[in-house]
Copies of this chain bind each other. A is one copy, B any other.
Amino acid sequence: MARSRDETKRNQILLTSKSLFADKGFFNTSIADIVRETGFPVGTIYTYFQNKEDIIQKIVEEGWEEFYANLKSIRDSNIPPVEKLRTVIEEIIPELLQDVDLINILLTEAIQYTIIEDKIEKLTDTIDSILQAIPQSKSALTNIPRGFMKTSIVVFFLGILQTAKISKTKVMGITNQDIIDFTKSVISQSVGIKL
């Protein structure tokens, strides 16, 4: 038998490329860069990926899948609705914000290389279903009107991603923790509960 596909190599290529794409952008990263950084011969890159675009697509798809799988597992778990929301804000989102490279790519290149609207649809639906399961506090004066739900989730989600992205490279005086705290605060008020 001949050598068989080495999943480790594939991952190394993916990780190296992700870092390069995030740092320098897709177009400023050459296959030669990936070759240099991974130490693999060019041919090997093309053994595991169809072309340069395929690499970024796989980065985005697989990165997103992981995030979305986490999100869904929370939604489908048996914990109380409010706990679900808390977990999303305290665990899922921070975890995503941690992966700056992925965010960077998601916001700058993903739109060109993947079907972003599907992802946004799934995201808003999932978040929405978690929110709807929460009994509204009587005193909540600031509930988000039903019609704004999608818009608000999208604006908010994209906003925190973009903010996290910029704050990683540029000095803006905003930390990831600020973003998380702010998120918690906004959601608390909007939903009318204490998180």
Which A residues have a C-beta under 8 Å from some C-beta of B? Answer: 2, 25-28, 43, 107-108, 111-112, 116-117, 120-121, 141-142, 144-145, 148, 150-152, 154-163, 166, 169-174, 178-179, 181-182, 185-186, 189
Contacts and interface: CB of A to CB of B under 8 A. Distances in A.
Number of copies: 4
A173 B186 CA distance: 24
14 contacts: A25-B112, A108-B108, A116-B170, A117-B170, A120-B170, A121-B172, A141-B142, A145-B185, A148-B178, A152-B182, A152-B186, A154-B159, A155-B160, A156-B159
Contacts of A173: 150
A152 B182 CA distance: 7
A117 B150 CA distance: 29
A117 B154 contact: no
Contacts of A108: 107-108
A151 B166 contact: no
Given A27-B27, A152-B186, A158-B159, 6 more contacts: A117-B170, A117-B171, A142-B189, A151-B163, A151-B179, A155-B156
A119 to B, nearest CB: 10
A80 B112 CA distance: 44
Contact of A162 (B25, B162, B178): B162
Contact of A111 (B28, B121, B144, B166): B166
Contact of A163 (B158, B186, B189): B158
Given A107-B162, A112-B25, A159-B159, A151 B174 contact: yes
A48 to B, nearest CB: 16
A120 B181 CA distance: 20
Given A163-B155, A166-B120, A171-B117, A2 B112 contact: no
